Amino acid sequence: MHPDKPLLLIDVDGPLNPYAAKPTRRPAGYTTHRMRPTGWTDGKPLRVWLNPAHGPGLLALADRYELVWATTWMGEANDWIAPRLGLPELPFIRWPQMHGRAPRGTFWKTQYVLEYAAGRPFAWIDDDITDLDREYVGQLHPAHALLRYVDERVGLTAEDFAVLAEWAA
């Protein structure tokens, strides 16, 4: 843990894997990977699109942030995603319950993100962030927080990386 740095909480599906892009057209800059994480019981391996430039981009942010997985992949992001992006093993949020009820219409992860942050500043990239989540965090979290919505059809962009770098500066 690096309590002097803000956290950068990283979702996989949406920000790193633009799963909602047209299924027959891989987004520019992405490569296709076939994976079988725990719980994936479909006959075919899961198709995951990853952009190899995201690894160096996230590593560059590691000077300013403590990088943490905030994904339903949990620790399996270290097995399946990190090696393909050139990332080291990262800590991850263990969700007490996934896809459950959430306070005030927020995304189910939001309450647990606040628990994990434990009062520390954080930036969070996810494709399910809404204004309700921003309002909830603004009311309950004592430190600065950036909730950055990433379009699940596009994934992380150069603009997202610039906003994250500027926010941490």
d(CA 166, CA 108) in angstroms, rounded, equals 28
pLDDT tens column, 74-101:
999 999 999 999 999 999 999 987 777 7
d(CA 150, CA 88) in angstroms, rounded, equals 23
> 1 pLDDT band (50/70/90 cuts)?
low
Tallying the residues shown for the chain, one arrives at: 169
pLDDT, residue 64, reads 96
CA 2 to chain centre: 19
Distance between the two ends of the chain, CA-based, in angstroms?
A: 19
Q: Which residues are paired to 31 by β-bridges?
A: 50
pLDDT tens column, 145-160:
999 999 999 999 999 9
CA dihedral 150, 123, 164, 31 (to 10 degrees): -40
Residue 54 CB neighbour total at 10 angstroms: 24
- Nearest Cα to Cα of residue 16 among 126, 169, 166: 126
pLDDT, residue 98, reads 73
pLDDT, residue 39, reads 76
Residue 117 exposure: Cα atoms within 13 Å on the Cβ side: 29
- Nearest Cα to Cα of residue 156 among 7, 52, 14: 14
d(CA 1, CA 91) in angstroms, rounded, equals 9
pLDDT tens column, 15-68:
999 999 987 788 899 999 999 888 777 778 989 999 999 999 999 999 999 999
pLDDT tens column, 106-124:
899 999 999 999 999 999 9
